Amino acid sequence: MRRQTTLAALGVAAFTLALRIPTLSEPRWYYDEAVFTTIAWATSKGMTLYVGVFDLQPPGIFWLYRLLLALGGLEHHFVVQLGVSVFVLATALLTFAIARRVVELWPATLAGLLTGFALSLPLLDGDLLNVELGASPFFLAALLLAFSRRWPAVFASGLLLGVALAFRPSFVVDCVAVLVPLLSTGRRELRVVMLGLGVLVTLAIALWGLWLEGSLAAYFNVVAPTDRLYLVNGNRGTLFPVVVRLAIFGAVAAVGLIRAKTTGGRLMALWLPASIAGATLTPKGYVHFVHETIPPLALGLAMLVGRYRLRWLTAPGAAIALVLCAYAVVVVPPMQVAVMTHRVPLELWDSIGSDPNYYVNWFAYASGAKSYDEYAAWFWDVAPRERELTRLRGLAPASGRLQVIGPQPWLYIESGLLPATPYLNTTDLWVPTAKEETRSRLRGGCADVVVAPTQLIKWQDDLRFAGYVPVGGTPWPTFVAATHRSCD
């Protein structure tokens, strides 16, 4: 049986890696990855996280991108794409390992295959390293270790849970699933204490890291209130829809727990509704939010179809059902919020993988019909960004500062110009004082160059006030400061 389990794990790994081949050649194009990469790069240059350069995510994702940049991600985006594949592979294998604890080999294998399949689809943002995918392997490893009877393993489980929370705090809801293995064996009080101690140790280390960076005060005084504002905004100005969703999922979990007869049943009774609840705390229609729910969805579907004899014939149906369930997690909660608040539902943010030409474009490159530049130009804004960079590199000194008005943070890292304000994008200024701070810095001429792919009209008066001069030969409106000023 051990040999069969090893072969099944190797099959899950090979299947997942084969599906991910088209994603390895992707160029830099995705907005969130641009933010994470730019902030990691800027902090490596001495800027302070959350103070000199800002985003509302916890620090885990920025520390991960610092590591990827140290491994060569600054020069080669392949390093980041390879990192995505490592995280997806770990998630698929850990899902298989957890499933093997509660079900037979075939449904456990199917759970791993379904996880690798769903998280390798550009349709579900499986080609992108975002916070949910960053947290998933750590949470799953913690859940797996919680099955151990040895208290050091349980302590390590708590450490890993803390790491997951440092990437994505919504996983605190998923943590209720850990109670199933944690309380399934003797000395329960000690096991709970050891797990809690592990979580506290990791969070203490994370806070210490923020303190060393000079970011701790800003995290509590700026990031935490901004995250709450983001939560309220995602629910259209009220937290009542969140309370209703949590109550519904809590009731579903309670009923499932009462009816469950096995460890696997109890695990799914808590894990599946908890993961959906966590993923939908801010139902803003971003497809990558669903990554949090993929492993329990895959395991639940595998347990369901694993009862049938024609196993391999049920697998394609399970894969289709997984994608449909994933999209339901993204689409239904915004509709619930819209009904409860009498507002128009927030739009679904389609993935680039929703375009079938994603694979057509890659195959043309892989077969030699397209050069890499032609392949890369298919992705959003890559071609105009390259033209902008050709002109931009000669407009400011090496120590100059850049301000982008609009969603193009890649311009910072690719031009080598540090941000002139803490806010990389002026279209989503979540910090209440961010708009006035950005306006003040622009009027003070703190940016040597300003590029405005969008929303120029909102900031044009500020540029005129500071005497910025427009330049030609760029695809996006571009301005240079009349004189170089330092606002540090």
Q: 239 near 341, Cβ under 8 Å?
A: no
The pLDDT assigned to 311 comes to 67
The three-class DSSP label of residue 42 is helix
The pLDDT assigned to 185 comes to 80
Chain length of the chain: 488
The pLDDT assigned to 184 comes to 85
Alpha carbon distance 129, 145 (integer Å): 24
Q: What six digits make up the tokens of 76?
A: 């080669």
The pLDDT assigned to 482 comes to 81
DSSP 8-class letter at 404? E
Residue showing tokens 């440092």: 166
Q: 477 near 456, Cβ under 8 Å?
A: yes
Which residues, 6 or more positions from 315, have their beta carbon under 8 angstroms from its beta carbon? Answer: 110, 113, 114, 305
Which residues, 6 or more positions from 196, have their beta carbon under 8 angstroms from its beta carbon? Answer: 158
β-bridge pairing 449-451 and 401-404: parallel
Residue spans of the domains in the chain: they are 2-26+77-341, 382-480
Q: Name the residue among 453, 444, 443, 448 with its Cα closest to residue 476.
A: 453
Structure-derived torsion over alpha carbons of residues 39, 44, 47, 48, reported in degrees to the nearest 10: 80
Alpha carbon distance 322, 118 (integer Å): 7
The pLDDT assigned to 310 comes to 66
Beta carbons within 10 angstroms of residue 50's beta carbon: 28
pTM value is 0.95
pLDDT (tens, 9 = 90+) of the chain, 488 residues, equals 788 999 999 999 999 999 999 999 999 999 999 999 999 999 999 999 999 999 999 999 999 999 999 999 999 999 999 999 999 999 999 999 999 999 999 999 999 999 999 999 999 999 999 999 999 999 999 999 999 999 899 999 999 999 999 999 999 999 999 999 999 887 888 999 999 999 999 999 999 999 999 999 999 999 999 999 999 999 989 999 999 999 999 999 999 999 998 999 999 999 999 999 999 999 998 999 999 999 999 999 999 987 776 666 788 899 999 999 999 999 999 999 999 998 887 777 767 877 889 999 999 999 999 999 999 999 988 999 999 998 888 888 878 899 999 889 999 999 999 999 999 987 777 788 889 999 999 999 899 999 999 888 989 999 999 999 999 888 999 999 887 676 76
Q: What six digits make up the tokens of 48?
A: 């302070």
The helix (run of H) or strand (run of E) holding residue 480 is strand 478-480
Torsions phi, psi of 184, nearest 5? -90, 0
